[in-house]
Amino acid sequence: MRWIVRAIALILLLALTAGGALLLIPSKKIAQIAETQFEAATGRKMTLTGAVHATLWPQLGVRMGPVEIANASWAKDGPMLSAKEVEIGVEPAVLFGGEIRVSKVKLLAPRILLERRRDGTGNWEFTPPAKPASIEPASTDPAGKKVPSTGGVRQAFSLDQGIISDGSLTWIDQATGQRIALSKIDATLEIPSYTGPANFNLKAELNGQPMTLTGTLAQFAASLTGKAVPADVTVGMGASNVAFKGNLGTSPLAAQGKLVATLKNPAALAALVGQSISDLPQGLGHDSITAKGDVTLSPNGALNLTAGQITLDSNAMRVAGALTFPKGKPKITAQIDADALNLSALAASNGGGGGGGTGSGTKAASGWSTAPIDLSALHMADAQITLNAPSIDLGVSKLGQTRAQITLENGRAVADLRQVSAYGGDISGQVVANARGGLSVAANLVAKGVSLEPFLSDLVDYKRLDSAADVTVKLLASGNSEAALARSLSGSGNFTLGKGALQGLDLVGMLRTLNLNYVGEGAKTIFDQISASFTIDKGVLSNDDLALKAPLLSAAGKGQVNVGAQALNYTLTPTALSKADGSGGVQVPLTITGSWAKPKFGLDMNAITGDKVDAAKKDLENRAKSEVAKKLGITPQDGQSAQDAVRQRLEDEAKKGLLKLLK
């Protein structure tokens, strides 16, 4: 903004010097006088070449050109301004009153170069020769009215109309390397009173995109010196626009007032002005950013926002905060009260969801994504943000009422979850994402009353477990993709599930019939409670104390869940038909192996145990021996078993055979 205002001010300097020179007609001397007056006022050389013509009709004035204004001594890119032609008109009626009233200044095809060197000095900062006597203090007009000082300019003036036609402007910042070029500039400037307001209107192209600048500076003379003055300014660029109304100063750049902005495609917009920002994710300003509120821009570049309303794509929020540069890097401090937030695109931009199976066997899992996770957003700025939102859709999971504080410093983000309502329960704890050297993720969470069926369905697409759970976990993983994170996962935890159902497996029916047909769609096991603890190392979860309690059975489990490979190797041993004291009953170990998507179930028939099973074995053995006795024509005596009767018969027959041998 500052360099655009300075460009318009160049018109006024030309108007001032050339307008005074009109008093010295004949025109042959106008060029010399104009050049001398300009250098005396600014310390810069102005060169007029070609013919200089005085005009009397339709207005008194002068037409001259081409014209060139020298650049600062340290600038190396050519003159500060050059134009094919300059046309100036003045009002003759006021010449004798000591004020120059310029009715028209027109620059044809000007080429303007604005440049700032590394120490912040601008080439628009003129340094006239020191002549204290030429500096006007406040004075009085003939009527006795006090006239403000003109700030060092020898004589006040006004301008009915300033015109730039087919101009161009180049901005160079030696400190940042930024270079911006405006072309096809058509601009107008009106200054009815030198110490009063100035109205300006500019149209141009910036890298092929249309740009507009319109507004009013309430105190033109003061604004030339860079002082903050009341301003009403609107900048448009393509479909984007920024409007500001308040106090605006240009040396140094400072502002205080109301801001209303609509930015379309912010990444492309930043590229137009020579800046580079990462392509923002959908939901965080990828398509559009709208903002309004009370802003204060300090001379040190700090920006404060109060009563702010910001919308990032479709996500609306109320914001109070500040943008500062304590270490040369942006730091955002903010209090955000948001409406429902949709950040589902964050999951898609990092390679999609978990890739786990549905658990129903209808579609095979493809595994974790190996796509690199984009970490650039964690390095763009530092931040300390307090967030309140009624709901947040993260794509892989959905949160309810959320109160959190997010701290981002040098690529390390820490989310302190003070209150998170999710899946019918509450979650608290801390999540850390550290991108200072690769990516590492840590979580220390406590969840109470979380409904597992929708949670596991969203997180890993697993839909077999329907229950509310209390969970405590401490997890750590590192890697630059989902697959790498899953394979490196380590930690520990425990959980307790209340009443619920295990879908796809009917343990009671399986034990009753010893038939695996009780596995599949429509089958389920109703339970009262499940509890377990676990450890995780290199992506493999190990557990040996799972306990399940159900109305008709109990079960114990142990084994491993390979998170990295999305595979199972687990043994669940249910006990059914036990006695009232819990002893006895039938135990049939059930093995669960294979992928999450299509687990395989098997019964270990050789390991079947239990009182009733042993009794059934003994009864079967006795029946077999009884059948043998019948075949041999042996009838057991009272109280004698078939086995004893067969043994007695064999002994008797052996004795008879021995007696025959002895005879």
Judged against a pLDDT cut of 50, whether residue 132 lies above it is answered with: no
Structure tokens at 313: 């794509």
* Greatest mean pLDDT among 1-10, 132-141, 346-355, 541-550: 541-550
More confident residue, 662 or 474: 474
State mean pLDDT over 420-433.
93
357 in Cβ contact with 368 (< 8 Å): no
More confident residue, 460 or 117: 117
Q: Is 485 helix (H, G, I), strand (E, B) or coil?
A: helix
Strands 100-108 and 157-173 come out as parallel
Q: What is the pLDDT of residues 67-125, one digit of tens each?
A: 899 999 898 888 999 999 888 877 665 555 555 566 788 889 999 999 988 887 888 77
Predicted local confidence at residue 245, as pLDDT: 96
Predicted local confidence at residue 410, as pLDDT: 92
Q: What is the pTM of this model?
A: 0.67
Structure tokens at 148: 């403000």
Rounded Cα–Cα distance for residues 28 and 46 (Å): 16
Rounded Cα–Cα distance for residues 610 and 606 (Å): 12
Helix axes 642-662, 611-631, angle to 10 degrees: 40
Rounded Cα–Cα distance for residues 456 and 474 (Å): 18
Nearest of 257, 258, 253, 341 to residue 298 by alpha carbon: 253
State mean pLDDT over 529-535.
95
Predicted local confidence at residue 154, as pLDDT: 40
CA distances 648 to 481, 619, 622, 631, 660, Å, are 77, 21, 16, 15, 19
Q: Could you tell me which residues are beta bridge partners of residue 101?
A: 158
The contacts of residue 228 (CB under 8 Å, 6+ apart) are 247, 248, 249, 254, 255, 256
Judged against a pLDDT cut of 50, whether residue 152 lies above it is answered with: no
Q: Could you tell me which residues are beta bridge partners of residue 592?
A: 570, 601
Rounded Cα–Cα distance for residues 258 and 243 (Å): 8
Predicted local confidence at residue 541, as pLDDT: 96
Judged against a pLDDT cut of 70, whether residue 503 lies above it is answered with: yes
Predicted local confidence at residue 608, as pLDDT: 64
Judged against a pLDDT cut of 60, whether residue 287 lies above it is answered with: yes
Predicted local confidence at residue 251, as pLDDT: 75
Judged against a pLDDT cut of 90, whether residue 497 lies above it is answered with: yes
Nearest of 554, 548, 613, 609 to residue 582 by alpha carbon: 554
Rounded Cα–Cα distance for residues 657 and 341 (Å): 98
CA 543 to chain centre: 37
User: Token match 């390390």: residue?
Assistant: 412
Judged against a pLDDT cut of 90, whether residue 136 lies above it is answered with: no
Rounded Cα–Cα distance for residues 206 and 203 (Å): 10
Judged against a pLDDT cut of 80, whether residue 421 lies above it is answered with: yes
What percent of the chain is modeled with pLDDT above 90?
37
